[in-house]
């Protein structure tokens, strides 16, 4: 069986730094034609964006998809709210977790899979300042350890 191809459009690198990722979902996006063409050109940004559950539907908020230059009058609003495609059970489960447990819905990356625009949506909990410092210290320690091991291998 062939592996499905994924062409990544953009990633929200800051999300992994600012949040503890509990769970991820692949969701579809409802887009207009000029947005799809702009995404194919790689002109999107997920920085500061999030998803909101409202009236039984999930919407992507503050995601920036640049206007398509050749679209003229039929161009889209770059930061409009975009509907996300999930089934009813998933929406209900997310709504309960976001309301009761203090989670937030954060987009991690946007990509094309089999010609369709998809979004990886994460159920996440915000990190505290000391958590971020701890993660940075751990990463630096691992980096130093790898460097020392590499130097020892060269010495042989």
Q: What is the pLDDT of residue 27?
A: 92
Give the global pTM: 0.73
Per-residue tokens: 59: 């919407």
* In a domain? residue 155: no
DSSP string computed for 86-104:
--HHHHHHHHHHHHHH--E
Q: What is the pLDDT of residue 1?
A: 45
Per-residue tokens: 32: 């207009």
Q: What is the pLDDT of residue 109?
A: 92
Per-residue tokens: 151: 């130097």
Owning domain of residue 25? 6-126
Count structural domains, the chain.
1
Question: What angle (nearest 5°) sits at the alpha carbon of residue 59, between those of residues 55 and 63?
Answer: 160
* In a domain? residue 94: yes
Contact 79, 63 (CB under 8 A): yes
d(CA 59, CA 115): 21
Contact 91, 53 (CB under 8 A): yes
- pLDDT beneath 50: ranges in the chain: 1
Q: What is the pLDDT of residue 127?
A: 77
CATH number at residue 21: 2.40.280.10
Pairing of strands 44-45, 116-126: unpaired
């Amino acid at each position: 069986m062939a592996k499905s191809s994924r062409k990544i459009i953009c990633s929200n690198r800051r999300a992994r730094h600012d949040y503890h990722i509990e769970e991820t979902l692949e969701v579809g996006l409802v887009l207009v034609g000029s947005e799809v063409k702009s995404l194919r050109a790689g002109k999107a940004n997920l920085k500061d964006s999030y998803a909101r559950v409202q009236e039984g539907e999930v919407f992507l908020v503050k995601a920036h998809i640049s206007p398509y230059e050749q679209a003229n009058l039929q161009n889209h609003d770059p930061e409009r709210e975009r509907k996300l495609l999930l089934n009813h059970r998933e929406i209900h489960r997310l709504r309960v977790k976001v309301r009761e447990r203090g989670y937030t819905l954060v987009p991690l990356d946007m990509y094309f899979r089999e010609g369709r625009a998809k979004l990886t949506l994460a159920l996440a909990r915000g990190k505290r300042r000391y958590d971020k410092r701890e993660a940075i210290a751990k990463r630096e320690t691992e980096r130093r350890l790898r460097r020392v091991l590499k130097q020892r291998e060269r010495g042989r």
